[in-house]
Amino acid sequence: MVLVTGAAGQIAYSLLYSIGNGSVFGKDQPIILVLLDITPMMGVLDGVLMELQDCALPLLKDVIATDKEEVAFKDLDVAILVGSMPRREGMERKDLLKANVKIFKSQGAALDKYAKKSVKVIVVGNPANTNCLTASKSAPSIPKENFSCLTRLDHNRAKAQIALKLGVTANDVKNVIIWGNHSSTQYPDVNHAKVKLQGKEVGVYEALKDDSWLKGEFVTTVQQRGAAVIKARKLSSAMSAAKAICDHVRDIWFGTPEGEFVSMGVISDGNSYGVPDDLLYSFPVVIKNKTWKFVEGLPINDFSREKMDLTAKELTEEKESAFEFLSSA
């Protein structure tokens, strides 16, 4: 049982086919897809339901479209929480947080009440890190390690920028890291990244020999890529977000390749990389048997430290605002 929320929206439209065709959970895993959206979107959702039926996907045993949480969250194995309140023009970040705390508190409580305790929860809707923390706090009977938020899109963007610069494919680049918040304070770090050139692996800094680009334009390009796509397309980056969700969930399900790590927003323990305890922060992780672990012991230089602290500060402030709303909601 796989739930996608915000299922009548753009990202879900790019995502649902990939889940249904076996690209995420494997070519021999039958799936029941549950689609949740708000009541005014049910007409659109019926259209999406019809299209999924018309794809005639052999692995898709059933598709359930609903606007009711008690239906949507029942017996779930995986919950992909895409739907959130988008930021409207003139809206303060605080207003955005308040609206989303309400949504993710309710969905967290529904997970707690109806889903399997082994459910894996992936939060995509922004502000993703803090929404994920809110959902986790509202589902005390589900292990907090089962909650993660999507920073894989930023991770993929960072890989792609390095690949473009070096004239290789994104597959030749590995072990980039996104630290912190899925916002413009995130820090794309390639100090530990490797690239395959002429058949051998070299460090990205060594391969590029362009420190000023790596510390300047590269960082800002990745940080602001979402805004650049919106400016160009007049719509958000739905196709690349859907691809990143598939990558993220597939890695949870099947594990990360040997010798590679990926970026995921997960709960901090206060012992890793100087990140305060109990923040939902993007770290480098490896995954095995559906369980993630921090990649430990990577040396952090002063430039990185400053960027990592800056995004932790923003997340701490977001968390404090969200928790004010959470306790009064």
100 is in an annotated binding site: yes
126 is in an annotated binding site: yes
251 is in an annotated binding site: no
Q: 155, 182, 192, 248: which one is catalytic?
A: 182
152 is in an annotated binding site: no
233 is in an annotated binding site: no
Is 235 within 8 Å of 10 (Cβ atoms)? yes
Is 261 within 8 Å of 158 (Cβ atoms)? no
Please name the residues in contact with 280: beta carbons below 8 A apart, sequence gap of 6 or more: 129, 130, 132, 133, 136, 147, 149, 265, 266, 267, 268, 315, 319
Does residue 127 have a cis bond before it (omega within 30 degrees)? yes
125 is in an annotated binding site: yes
CA 20 to chain centre: 19
Phi, psi (rounded to 5 degrees) for 168: -120, 180
Q: Which of 57, 43, 61, 2 has the alpha carbon at shortest distance from 246?
A: 2
Is 292 within 8 Å of 264 (Cβ atoms)? yes
2 is in an annotated binding site: no
289 is in an annotated binding site: no
Q: How far apart are the first and last CA of the chain?
A: 30
Known catalytic residue at 182: yes
Report the binding-site residues for NAD(+): 37, 100, 124-126
Q: Which residues are designated catalytic?
A: 182
Q: Which residues fall in the annotated binding site for substrate? A: 87, 93, 126, 157
Residues annotated within the binding site are 37, 87, 93, 100, 124-126, 157
